[in-house]
Structure 1
């Protein structure tokens, strides 16, 4: 797939820059992404779709703010939730897998990546976890990751913004690694 776009290496960057890199890397690889969000409530999807070209790589996603939606829509293990609560690395990992599955409508061309966020934005503890505790899940066709716990400081909005940036930065790093592996 030929393109006139160039990969931009920057010394300082914005969320928009991170997303532009993700879109570029996904396009180059012929891949797609879907999202499952809890504490970020659609902010990851909004960040991705705020950059031109997103429609060629972004499949969609779900905001599973309520616990029962994580179980029903994303197929997160109910016994895991009962035992650990929803603020847990394995919950994030299963949410990312669920994001890939719900966004795959054609089994010949499955959604390549799933990204998820779950955590506590505050103002109160949740499932015994402190405000600012966040887990991020990422799933590819071949591997899955449960990242965290991250402990982001600040108020509710600062925690949510930090989570969006971290989730997308983590995805970008995995895409860069994949690209480097392919070029070897």
Structure 2
């Protein structure tokens, strides 16, 4: 008789479920969110805006695919980019902080949280970094952090999808951490 296959637990949580929880957490805390995306090309923003009621917390964002947009609009440090390239944890953190800044206007409270995504979706390596290498930044009023490198396998679309999910999961983690500290 053949041995029983080992049970591997699977999560049925989807990126939509994570986004919905992020929106709920932001609503509960009275906070707002902005996004700056490179390799995900608007995927994080599209996922967030698929959640009903997200307009109460989502301010907007920037698809900063080109390096000059990262530098000039989001104020990512040019010396950092010259030394490390755009695929770096500190670049992701500065993109997240820049998203907060560009979505804050005189007549409103500062945007509370920011997400930044940068990496290589493929099909070719970039700046000596392999396909699937990703960094994600999360910014809040207390500062910004870069996470990674993440190494997501698969096709270009799979790397982008994994990045969107991980970015929203990291934000959820940081929101829950902030909630516990308050």
TM-score normalised over the length of structure 1: 0.91
* Partner Cα distance (1:167, 1:136) in 2: 6
CA change 1:107–1:143 in 2 (3 A) is farther
Q: Which ranges of 4 or more aligned residues in structure 1 deviate by more than 4 Å?
A: none
| Equivalent in the alignment of 2:76 | 76
| Equivalent in the alignment of 1:63 | 63
| Equivalent in the alignment of 1:161 | 161
* Partner Cα distance (1:141, 1:26) in 2: 14
| Equivalent in the alignment of 1:54 | 54
| Equivalent in the alignment of 2:180 | 180
Superposed CA offset, 1:71-102 (max 9, x none): 01100011111111000011101101100000
DSSP 3-state at the match of 1:134 = strand
DSSP 3-state at the match of 2:52 = coil
Greater C-alpha radius of gyration: 2
Structure 1 residue 141: Cα displacement: 0.4
| Equivalent in the alignment of 1:5 | none
Aligned residues: 172
CA change 1:19–1:38 in 2 (3 A) is same
| Equivalent in the alignment of 1:113 | 113
Q: Does 1:28 align with 2:28?
A: yes
Where structure 1 has 5 or more consecutive residues not aligned to the other structure, the ranges are 1-10
Structure 1 residue 106: Cα displacement: 3.1
Pairs within 5 Å for 1:115-154: 115-154=115-154
